[in-house]
Structure 1
Amino acid sequence: MTDKELKEYFSCIEENFNLAVISNNVDKIKECITEDWVLVDSQGGIIPQERFFQIVEKGLLSHSTMTKEILRVKIYGEIALVTGRGKNTATWQGQNIEADEWITDVYKKENEKWLCVLTHLTPVKNS
């Protein structure tokens, strides 16, 4: 695949992941990730999926929009690194929040399906 084709292919995978997250449905999110997926962010550090799911299930965190512009995709055998810029809106403990972040998702191919192993977020600095 060309770089353009890889970006288009993984843009579809990322969009499915986005839709799962904004559904705020843990079962739908689980369809996009491995059993040991973790979220890494600048405020919470390494957040295991169990903790992330508890926060979502309790309604402490609820996403309403999520988009990603895929800027780079590199595949290393059964591992893919997908890097882009993401924006989302959500509610955190009843407060509306917006995020503009650099995102790297690490994917692993399992049974012919790409599943996310790790999501790393870095806030975009305002100039």
Structure 2
Amino acid sequence: MAIDEQVTGPTTHVDGEVDRAEFQALLEDWAAAIVANDADRISAFAEPDWQIVGTESGPSPLGAFLEVVRDGSLTHSEMTFEVLSVRRLGEVAVVVAHGTNRGRWQGEPFSADEWVSDVFVRRDGRWRCVLSALTPNAGA
């Protein structure tokens, strides 16, 4: 028995086209909510205790993210994702994607090319994000 099976139970690797397509669609829907700058739609994809971890500001809670969207300090005009891998451990999934986005932060334009690591939990038949970690794509 593998060590991860002893600690957490069986690990299911979800890397088939159907499974990747499910998370690709989910991330595209979430990106559409972010590009719409719609805080209520954005929050529907995340657990209330969601955190985003970026290189500039470190961990930030959902409330802080939604606040800067609501007050217009942060806007997005473009966001894309390419799901690279998905790993599921029961009702938890870890998704690694390549993402790009453009927008404005406090009136100044920005663009980002990043590796995105998202942790999702399945609740009431829906995947909701609990953590997003952003790593700049230094090779871009």
Q: TM-score, normalised by structure 2?
A: 0.87
- Which residue among 59, 63, 76 is the counterpart of 1:63? 76
Structure 1 residue 65: deviation in Å? 0.6
User: 1: distance between equivalents of 2:60 and 2:67?
Assistant: 11
Larger C-alpha radius of gyration, 1 or 2? Answer: 2
Please tell me whether the aligned partners of residues 119 and 129 of structure 2 are also in contact (alpha carbons under 8 angstroms).
yes
2:84–2:97 Cα contact (<8 Å) kept: yes
| Residue 102 of structure 2 corresponds to residue 102 of structure 1 | no
4+ residue stretches of structure 1 with deviation over 4 A? none
Unaligned runs of 5+ in 2: 1-13
**Distance between the aligned counterparts of 1:80 and 1:126, measured in 2?**
26
**Structure 1 residue 111: deviation in Å?**
0.1
> How far apart are the structure 2 equivalents of 1:32 and 1:25?
12
Deviations 1:75-110 (A, max 9, x none): 110000010100000101111110000001111001
TM, length-normalised to structure 1: 0.95
Count matched residues: 127
Q: Percent identity?
A: 35
Pairwise CA RMSD? 1.2
Question: Out of 68, 77, 87, which is 1:74 matched to?
Answer: 87
1:35 to 44, 48, 51: 48
Partner of 2:29: 16
Match for 1:89 among 95, 102, 120? 102
Secondary structure at 2:22's aligned position in 1?
Answer: helix
Using the alignment, how far apart are the partners of 1:69 and 1:126 within structure 2? 16
